Amino acid sequence: MKIALSQLNYLIGDFEGNKRKIIRDIERAQNEGADMVVFAELAVSGYPPRDFLEFEDFVRKCNKAVEDIATHAQGIGAIIGLPTFNPDDRGKALRNSAAFLYDGKVEAMFHKALLPTYDIFDEYRYFEPNHVFQPLEFKGKKIAVTICEDIWDVDGDYQYVISPLDELRGYQPDFIINIAASPFHYNQPVIRKRILRANVKKYDLPIVYVNHVGAQTELLFDGNSQVLDENGETLQELKYFEEDFALVDMDKKELQHPIPLPEKIAAIEEGLIMGVKNYFEKLGLKKAILGLSGGIDSAVTAVIAAKALGKANVYGVLLPSKFSSDHSVTDAEQLARNLGIQYETIPVKEVVESFEKTLEKQFEGLPFGIAEENIQARARGVILMALSNKFGHILLNTSNKSEAAVGYGTLYGDMNGGLSVIGDVYKTDVFALARYMNKEMEVIPENIITKPPSAELRPDQKDSDSLPDYEVLDDILTLYIEQRKGPQAIEAKGYDPALVAKVLRMVNLTEYKRHQTPPILRVSPKAFGMGRRMPIVAKYLA
C-alpha cells in the first residue's frame, strides 16, 4: 500500500484555508499514485482550538469542511483529524476524531481514547474518551488508527488504565497510523523517536506518524512526520519546521537515512524564527519594533526577528538614560548596522526627569531606589508602545526565562510587548544562541556577548549585584521549574540552602508578574504560560 504523508501548517479556525491545503495534497497524492493520504490530528480546526470547541457553530463548520473535502477523495483514501459531536446522552459533548474519507464520503470514524490533561494539554475539558476499538479495513489491509496520545502510554510511566493498541492487537493489524499534534520542545525529537520505536517493538508493527508543523501563538510544532518499519528502521522522514509531503510504499521496505536529530541550540533558534514568523503572518501583521539596549537579550531577539520577518520589517529603538554606558549605545548601533535594520536613538533622560519632578513632593527626602530605576524602564516602555500604536509595529518583548523566573524585570516597562520571543530561554542558552548566530560571521558584536550583563538603571549596575551567576541560577531554576524538584533535592546537588530558598522564594513571589506578560514562545518542556499553572496567592516556599 502506498501512503502519502501530508505535513501542513494550519491556522486555527481558518476552515477555508485549511480545506484548500488539504484538498491540494489529496490531489497531489492521487497524481503520485497513493492509495491513501494521511493528515494530522484536528487538522481541519487547527490545534489547539481550545474554547472555540465550546461553540457549536465552530464544530459544525469543521464537520462541514470535512464533508466538502470528502468529495475530492475519489479513488483514494484520506485520514483527517477533526472534532465531532458525541451522539451519546452522557459524557462530554465532543470527540477528538479521525475521519476516513473514500469515494466522496466519510466512510468511517475513529476516536481518541487517551486524552492528555497535563502541561499544555487540556483535552478532557472538551472530549469524551473512546471505549470501542476496531481497525480500519482498506484494500486488504487492517490498520490500527490512533490519535497522538493513544501511542504515548508505552514508556513505563503509565497514566491511563487502557491502551488502544492493546485493544486493537487482537484484530492483527498490518500497521499503525497515528495522527498527531505534538508540540515542540528541545527534547521532543529524541523523545518522539523513542516513543515511536517503543510502539514498533511492543507490537511488532510498522507505524505511520503524521504531525503538525508551524506555530500557534506560543506553541511550536516541528513536524518530523515519519514512517518506521517493524524493526524500527526509517522508511520515510519529513523535515523539521517546514511543510512537507512524501509518499512511502509500505510493501517495498526501502529504507531511508533518518534526518539527524537537531542540536538543541540550533533547534531553539529555528523554532523561535518559525514562531515569530507565524505569529505575524497568521495575525496579518508585518512589522516589529523592539528596544535595543546594547545587551545580549535584545541582540538575540533582533537577530531572530530579522530572520523571521526580513530586515526591512524590523525597527530597533535605542533608549539610553543617564546611566547607559557609551559602549551600550555603540554596540546596539553596530548590531543594527550588521543586521541592516532601521534604527534610531531616543534618549529618555528628559522624560525620566519629568516623572521625577512630578513626584518630587511625594519622594522628598527619600533615597534613590527601585522606584526611580523602574521609572526609567517604564519611560522606555511608554515610548516603545507609543511608536507601536502610531505606526502599527508590534512590540517584541526581549526578557529571558531567567529574568522572568525571578521577577528581574519591570511591569509596564521592559516586560511590555505583543510577543515574548526568548521568554522560555534561560540566560545561559541566550549566550549559546548568540555564539551560534555568530558561527559564520560576527552578527552580534563580540562586546555584547562578553561584557557583564546589566540593566543599567543605576550607576555601575550589574545583574550579579542582585542575582547569582547565571550558570548557578539557571541550574537551580531548571531543577525547580522543569524537573519540579523541591528545595531538599536541589540542595542535595551541592547548592547552599540559603541560596536555594532565596531563588525559589523569588520565583513564587513573582508569579503575579508572569500573569501579565505577553505570550511566550515555548521551547522547553515546562514553559511559563499555558503549561505551568501556579496560584498567585500562596504560601509554599514564599
d(CA 367, CA 271): 45
pLDDT attached to residue 245: 98
Under DSSP, the state recorded for 529 is: B
Side-chain-side CA neighbours of 78 within 13 Å: the count stands at 34
Burial 314-353 (b: 16+ CB within 10 A, else e): bbbbbbbbebbeeebbebbbbbbebbebebeeeebeebbe
Give Cα 240 distance to the centre of its chain. Answer: 14
112 is catalytic: yes
Into which CATH architecture does domain 267-463 fall? 3-Layer(aba) Sandwich (3.40)
Name the helix (H) or strand (E) containing 137: strand 136-138
Residue pair 507/204 in contact by the 8 Å Cβ criterion: no
Which amino acid makes up residue 136? L
Residue indicated by cell numbers 498567585: 536
3-state secondary structure 214-261: EEECCEEEEECCEEECCCCCEEEECCECCCEEEEEECCCCCCCCCCCC
Distance CA 429, CA 439 (A): 15
Of the residues 19, 41, 149, 287, only one is catalytic, namely 41
Strand partners, 288: 314, 394
CB burial of 181-205 (b: ≥16 within 10 Å; e: otherwise) equals: bbbbbbebbeebbebbbbbbeebeb
Q: What does the alpha-carbon distance between residue 468 and residue 450 come to, in Å, rounded to a whole number?
A: 17
How does DSSP assign 184-216, residue by residue? --TTHHHHHHHHHHHHHHHHT--EEEE--EEEE
pLDDT at site 75: 95
Domain 2-250 has CATH 3.40.50.300: no
Predicted confidence at residue 193, as pLDDT, reads: 96
Tens digit of pLDDT for each residue in 300-358? 999 999 999 999 999 999 999 887 666 889 999 999 999 999 999 999 999 999 999 99
Element (H, E) at 288: strand 288-291
Q: Which residues pair with 315 in a beta bridge?
A: 289, 342
Nearest to 48 by CA among 131, 137, 116, 133: 116
**Residue segments in the chain with a per-residue pLDDT below the cut of 70:** 324-326, 455-458, 460-461, 463
Q: Say if residues 120 and 183 touch (Cβ distance below 8 Å).
A: yes
Q: Which of 164, 231, 156 is nearest to 200 (CA)?
A: 231
What pLDDT shows up at residue 301? Answer: 98
Tell me the C-alpha distance between 76 and 59, whole Å.
25
Which residues neighbour 213 within 8 Å (Cβ) at sequence distance 6 or greater?
A: 7, 8, 9, 221, 222, 223, 241, 242, 243, 244
**Among 148, 193, 456, 513, which one carries the catalytic annotation?**
148
pLDDT at 462: 72
Contact 10, 212 (CB under 8 A): yes
State yes or no: is 41 an active-site residue: yes
pLDDT attached to residue 456: 64
Eight-state DSSP code of residue 479: I
User: Which one, of 200, 201, 225, lies nearest residue 212 by Cα?
Assistant: 225
Q: Among residues 369, 295, 375, which one has the least CA distance to residue 335?
A: 295
Count of H-run helices and E-run strands, the chain? 17, 19
The grid coordinates listed for 170 are 487482537
**Integer Rg of the chain from CA:** 26
Dihedral angle sign, alpha carbons of residues 291, 297, 303, 305: negative
pTM (2 d.p.) = 0.95
- Predicted pLDDT at 257: 86
For residue 2, the cross-strand partners are 249
Collect all residues with Cβ–Cβ distance below 8 Å to 541 and sequence separation of at least 6: 487, 501, 504, 505, 507, 508
With 0-12 / 13-18 / 19 or more C-beta atoms within 10 angstroms meaning exposed / middle / buried, residue 46 is: buried
- Active-site residue among 19, 21, 112, 307? 112
Q: Specify whether the CB–CB gap between 8 and 43 falls below 8 A.
A: yes
Q: What is the pLDDT of residues 413-464, one digit of tens each?
A: 999 999 999 999 999 999 999 999 999 999 999 999 998 877 666 676 676 7
Whole-number Å distance between alpha carbons of 454 and 222:
34
pLDDT at 461: 66
* pLDDT on residue 458: 62
Q: Letter for the amino acid at 159? A: Q
Phi, psi of 203 (to 5 degrees): -105, -5
What is the residue extent of each domain of the chain?
A: 2-250, 267-463
> Of all helices (H) and strands (E), which one includes residue 458?
none
Closest alpha carbon to 150 in 203, 105, 102, 101: 203
